[in-house]
Structure 1
Amino acid sequence: MNKVKVLSIALLAVVSASQAQDLNQAKKAIDGEQFESAKKILKSIINAKPTNGTADFYLGNVYLLQNNSDSAKVFYQKGLAGSEGARLNNIGLGLIDLDNGNTTGAEEKFALATKDLKKKDIEELIYIGRAYTISTKPDYKKALEYLNKAKLVNPEDAQLNLAFGNAYFGDKNQNEAYSAYRKAYNTDNTLIRAKMQLGVLLKGAKAYTEAIKAFDEVIAINGTYGPVYRELAETYYLWGRNEPSKYRIYVEKALTNYEKYLSLTDYSISSRMRHADFLVLAGEYKALEVEANKMVELDKVNPRIMRYLGYSAYQNGNYDVAIKSLENFVSVPTNKVIGLDYQTLGFAKIKKAVSEDGKTIDNALFDSAVLDIKKSAEMDANGLAINISEVGKKLYEQKAYKQAAAIYEIAVANKESKNYVLDNFYLGNCIYFDNTRKDVVKPDVVALQKADLAYGAVIEASPKTQDAYLYRARTNSLMENDAMTIKYYDDFVRVVTEKGPEELAKPATVKKMVESYNTSAASYANSDKAKAIEYFNKTLAIDPTNEYALNSIKALK
């Protein structure tokens, strides 16, 4: 019996050692962003020992990294009843609370994780620090608070210093982040992520040459470490954005490195989605369409794939597919919809609603597009402003003035936009030209008042923009507002005169000044003949043969 007991204990020790080895392999796979491999290993551990709470915790972490919080929660809750590592699962559940904005719930769960903690235990403190760092609603100061508690116990711990580096990086303390990453790697030179993060810091500082050199050093140590190729890809992309003349060269390098990243991270759906996000960023929509269709084959129900199909279809001119895909995506309440989703949907509807020559318009579809674009602007006013301006300009060039005005009204609602002044000018012009069409029976005074305000915004921001006065005068003339018509024509003349002889000598300027004087004179004709004659004489001073002025003076006398 004693021999049997000894053999049983020995066997348990072998099983335990095997599971520990498997758990280390899973950790390595997670760090290498080989999430499907990690899940396979962890599920194997759990099948062998269902009460392994530590494996449940790590499996929950993988699902959370893949943006699947529901599955993560299932394993965290299961892990709470584990015979080992149970308390770690409170941290996972706390992280989900943080993401949902429930800081009180998170703190309660973190308190459970650290209750009766032994003096030498720091793993829980490190994971809580990480939770505050990687949450979608991070609190870096709180992260550092927990990490400093662990530091009192073991300041040399490599994982602790890696966590410090990430928290400092998030808190925009580059110097402390650099020191922490360097210390982590010097303490444990197998912790390749810490060395990679030194390059990430350089990338963030726009020191692209140095960043690439740092990443190449990582590759020299471990050429199969997938995440470093992703960082290389993102660095080349950013470098290309900062050097437009070399953009194409650097983007090609970025795409090559991202393919390498995919090849080393098991081509899982999550890796492909991250790749798809990068393709959106780089504007590589042909490649995105290929990737999206591959993802459909892997996972026909994942909603984010509809986003990628929608984006790529829009950019590649397949507007029906774009509309269908994005309407499916934004209609699901549980999807994390962003402003770009609604904006792209709206733009696709505009492309379908307005013919290329601007003469045929599906008004119902266009109105639906405007609602989508308004939603996008409410969600991300600054980030998407330039796109709205560009679509407005395209409609303006198509002479779809009424539709262009609807888009520019959305654009000018954002006073922080870099295009605010120009957008107001185009808004005014759209309304003015829409009211001077040959088929207009009676000008739309309400719309023209919006144009007047738009030109006023331009003048306030840029008082030397002479055409803003000119078009404001024309707009008031359409509204039969004689006093304001004369005022803004006078302002136009004043501004061009202040610019000096060179501006006054331009044929286009002379023509506009003649318009200013003649229109103002006509406005005075019924109320003040002397003023009318005075303005007509100003016309003749710069255009002595102007028939309208000559004939009008004769009639007035």
Structure 2
Amino acid sequence: MKMISKIATASLGLLLGGSSVFAQSLADAKKAIDAEQYQKAKSMLKNLTVTQADKDENFFYLGWVYIKQDYADSAKAAFNKGIAVNAKSALNYAGLGAAARLDKDNSGATNNFNQAIALAGKSSKPYQYVGEAYLLVAPGAKVAPADANAAIAVLQKGKVVNPKDADLLITLGNAYRSQLKSNEAYQAYSDASTLDPKNPAAKVATGVLWQFANNFEDSEKQFQDALAIDPNYGPAYREWAETDVRWSTTDPKMASAKIKEAADHYKKYISLTDQSVESQMHYGDFLLMAGDYKTLQQVAADLSKSANTNARAYRYLAYAAYENKDCAAGLTAMNAWFQKAEPKRIIPRDYLYLGRLQMCAGQDSVGINTLRKALTLDSTQTEVYAEIAKSLYSQKKYIQAGDAYREVIQKGGRTVTLNDYLREGTGYYFGYTGQLRSGKADTALLTKADSAFSYITQKSPNTAVAYQYRAYVNDYKDADRNNIKGYAKPFYEKFIELTLAKGTPADDRTKKDLAEAYVYLGTYYEYKEKDLTKATDNYTKARDNDPTNKQVIAFFARKGGASKGK
């Protein structure tokens, strides 16, 4: 993908001035939160918690801003102050549950959610925010089905309490959308728009739904409708930019135009937010999603130099550096992230990139262990199995590589290829031959290898290399040339047939492989069939392909020192 390099980044570090002129009502603060103007909202809410210190809602929405910015400790402090003002503040208990989820404290989250619902009374807002809390995930992560179902269940209860809460319905639609339940999501968004036609969030949410279905034209129309309601509604531009990126990946003819449009829309989004460090982090989220690692590395590097930066900038710097093959910088950044971040902030993807960076830096064994840890935390990252197997194979740890490729085959899903079976088989085969050179070898390795090669020949009968390796495996069963059985014979014959079907080989490697096959057949006829004519014929063909083959030279020497066949 062409990198999104046209988004201006120089001004991102600037903060909007004039916060003292912000309107000081809770309604305006909530509107700023919805527009993702978090610094503006925070300034307003901090003022409200002083001028209206007896209203627990002010503390909740201040805490919610911290939740949106991933500052769980600051959020908890605000929620607890809200509860101190009103011990029965359902919203603040919902907030504490959300903070507990960020801290990966599931028990604490459940207890606080239950308390929030018990105190909710006739208000649907606690239900809404409990539902939103269940949908909180790290950038790029997916909502787990169990969390989505929990959100849907509590939001449905909130809908009974107040069927006319448009914001709750939008959250309900988001929960359905996270599980690709498009009809249910559309109905929820449609109901929200009917109840509140001037709510741009409902239009944006519907646009995202169409984006998921690759219905990009209708998606754009929804964003345009949202901006017709509020021309300064930043999230519409953000989602429009992300839709453009997705559009560019599905329609090559539109790719260049849509990438440029995405850059323009995201630049507009940034201009409508408060251009804080958090906005830049959101920009990082976008660049990560868009796969623009070149710009992401630049933005993250600049962020990491700021004294008040979010430590997550090091995560983005590490990810981008790896993708840009800047392994040293990436490993330094990832180590910094692991040092600066609280353990509860580390996600499986971090271990995934740490392992890749360690391997990229030559720390293969350490990297493999880190990748395995990533898999214990998230087994859905099936491509990691192949990365581990490939590394082991490149280190010539063949038996371990064979086991690893077997794991790829068992757990890799749709990404498994016949080449994985080939690597599994050759891993076990080379592992056996390595043992053989060292002494006693485990013949079970040959059985495993043959099984992998056999699968290839069943699925792709014209794959010559699979027959070649089946021949190698079975050749070891004929080690005693005085009692040869011919186990490898049909596989060498098939290998020769498939190879010659492509025409006379020109490369030396293929010629040497053919010579080996003919030598085996020559040996078979010489010692098993006692047919010197056929033996000579095969040895002659072997010599035609590789006159330097030692067994060919030895055969003709046995015939009386003749240098050429008849």
- Could you tell me how far 1:169 is from its partner in structure 2? 2.3
Amino acid at match of 2:53: P
Instruction: Name the CA distance, whole Å, in 2 between partners of 1:391 and 1:260.
Output: 45
Native 8 Å contact 2:322 2:353 kept in 1: yes
Amino acid at match of 2:54: T
Query: CA offsets, 1:189-246, max 9 Å, x none?
Result: 3311011111111011111232123223323332321111221121122222223465
Amino acid at match of 1:490: P
Native 8 Å contact 1:286 1:316 kept in 2: yes
**Residue 341 of structure 1: which of 347, 350, 363 is its match?**
350
Describe the shift of the 1:338–1:410 C-alpha distance in structure 2 as closer, same or farther (beyond 3 A). Answer: farther
Describe the shift of the 1:164–1:448 C-alpha distance in structure 2 as closer, same or farther (beyond 3 A). Answer: same
- Could you tell me how far 1:28 is from its partner in structure 2? 0.7
Amino acid at match of 2:25: D
SS of match in other structure, 1:414: helix
**Residue 464 of structure 2: which of 463, 466, 491 is its match?**
466
Describe the shift of the 1:50–1:130 C-alpha distance in structure 2 as closer, same or farther (beyond 3 A). Answer: same
- Could you tell me how far 1:287 is from its partner in structure 2? 0.7
- Could you tell me how far 1:295 is from its partner in structure 2? 1.5
| Structure 2 counterpart of 1:55 | 58
Describe the shift of the 1:442–1:310 C-alpha distance in structure 2 as closer, same or farther (beyond 3 A). Answer: same
Native 8 Å contact 1:374 1:410 kept in 2: no
Query: CA offsets, 1:245-285, max 9 Å, x none?
Result: 65444333323322322222222333322322332333322
Instruction: Name the CA distance, whole Å, in 2 between partners of 1:451 and 1:230.
Output: 56
Native 8 Å contact 2:60 2:79 kept in 1: yes
- Could you tell me how far 1:115 is from its partner in structure 2? 3.9
Q: TM-score, normalised by structure 2?
A: 0.76
Amino acid at match of 1:413: E
Native 8 Å contact 2:450 2:473 kept in 1: no
Matched, 1:127 2:145: no
| Structure 2 counterpart of 1:356 | none
List alignment gaps of at least 5 residues for structure 1: 1-17, 354-364
SS of match in other structure, 2:343: coil
SS of match in other structure, 2:317: helix
**Residue 69 of structure 2: which of 66, 71, 76 is its match?**
66
Question: Which protein has greater RCO, CA pairs closer than 8 Å, 6+ apart?
Answer: 2
Describe the shift of the 1:191–1:502 C-alpha distance in structure 2 as closer, same or farther (beyond 3 A). Answer: same
Describe the shift of the 1:94–1:285 C-alpha distance in structure 2 as closer, same or farther (beyond 3 A). Answer: closer
Instruction: Name the CA distance, whole Å, in 2 between partners of 1:37 and 1:492.
Output: 75
SS of match in other structure, 1:172: coil
Instruction: Name the CA distance, whole Å, in 2 between partners of 1:280 and 1:103.
Output: 28
Query: CA offsets, 1:441-483, max 9 Å, x none?
Result: 9468769976874563243255323312313444676898569
Native 8 Å contact 1:422 1:458 kept in 2: no
- Could you tell me how far 1:294 is from its partner in structure 2? 2.6
Deviating more after overlay: 124-133 vs 500-509:
500-509
Query: CA offsets, 1:482-526, max 9 Å, x none?
Result: 6999534522424665x698458767888745422412544786x
SS of match in other structure, 1:272: helix
Matched, 1:80 2:83: yes
Native 8 Å contact 2:385 2:405 kept in 1: no
**Residue 407 of structure 2: which of 399, 413, 416 is its match?**
413
Q: TM-score, normalised by structure 1?
A: 0.77
Query: CA offsets, 1:98-140, max 9 Å, x none?
Result: 556666654543443344655x433333333433444765534
| Structure 1 counterpart of 2:396 | 402
| Structure 1 counterpart of 2:520 | 519
Native 8 Å contact 2:134 2:150 kept in 1: yes
Describe the shift of the 1:457–1:163 C-alpha distance in structure 2 as closer, same or farther (beyond 3 A). Answer: same
| Structure 1 counterpart of 2:304 | 296
SS of match in other structure, 2:25: helix
| Structure 1 counterpart of 2:493 | 493
Matched, 1:326 2:325: no
| Structure 2 counterpart of 1:273 | 281
Amino acid at match of 2:396: K
Deviating more after overlay: 228-237 vs 401-410:
401-410
Native 8 Å contact 1:158 1:188 kept in 2: yes
Query: CA offsets, 1:314-366, max 9 Å, x none?
Result: 3444432222221232355615334443443344444443xxxxxxxxxxx34
SS of match in other structure, 1:189: coil
| Structure 1 counterpart of 2:168 | 160
Instruction: Name the CA distance, whole Å, in 1 between partners of 2:319 and 2:336.
Output: 13
Instruction: Name the CA distance, whole Å, in 2 between partners of 1:64 and 1:321.
Output: 30
Instruction: Name the CA distance, whole Å, in 1 between partners of 2:320 and 2:306.
Output: 18
Native 8 Å contact 2:204 2:226 kept in 1: yes
| Structure 1 counterpart of 2:207 | 199
| Structure 2 counterpart of 1:228 | 236
**Percentage of pairs with the same residue:** 29
Instruction: Name the CA distance, whole Å, in 2 between partners of 1:444 and 1:23.
Output: 79
Instruction: Name the CA distance, whole Å, in 2 between partners of 1:201 and 1:186.
Output: 17
Matched, 1:169 2:177: yes
Native 8 Å contact 1:203 1:235 kept in 2: yes
Native 8 Å contact 1:233 1:253 kept in 2: yes
Describe the shift of the 1:366–1:169 C-alpha distance in structure 2 as closer, same or farther (beyond 3 A). Answer: closer
1:241-390 map, 5 Å: 241-244=249-252, 246-299=254-307, 302-331=310-339, 334=343, 336-353=345-362, 365-380=363-378, 383=381, 385=383
| Structure 1 counterpart of 2:9 | none
- Could you tell me how far 1:536 is from its partner in structure 2? 2.4
Amino acid at match of 1:345: L
Instruction: Name the CA distance, whole Å, in 1 between partners of 2:487 and 2:275.
Output: 67
SS of match in other structure, 2:350: helix
| Structure 2 counterpart of 1:360 | none
List alignment gaps of at least 5 residues for structure 2: 1-20, 138-142, 561-566
1:442-481 map, 5 Å: 442=437, 453-454=448-449, 456-463=451-458, 464=461, 465-474=463-472, 481=479
Instruction: Name the CA distance, whole Å, in 1 between partners of 2:129 and 2:438.
Output: 67
Describe the shift of the 1:109–1:320 C-alpha distance in structure 2 as closer, same or farther (beyond 3 A). Answer: closer
Matched, 1:555 2:558: yes
Instruction: Name the CA distance, whole Å, in 2 between partners of 1:495 and 1:529.
Output: 21
Aligned residue pairs: how many?
519
Describe the shift of the 1:441–1:274 C-alpha distance in structure 2 as closer, same or farther (beyond 3 A). Answer: same
- Could you tell me how far 1:79 is from its partner in structure 2? 0.9
- Could you tell me how far 1:157 is from its partner in structure 2? 3.1
Native 8 Å contact 1:114 1:124 kept in 2: yes
Matched, 1:38 2:41: yes
Instruction: Name the CA distance, whole Å, in 1 between partners of 2:284 and 2:80.
Output: 32
- Could you tell me how far 1:555 is from its partner in structure 2? 3.3
Instruction: Name the CA distance, whole Å, in 2 between partners of 1:121 and 1:383.
Output: 41
Native 8 Å contact 1:521 1:535 kept in 2: yes
CA RMSD of aligned residues (A): 4.4
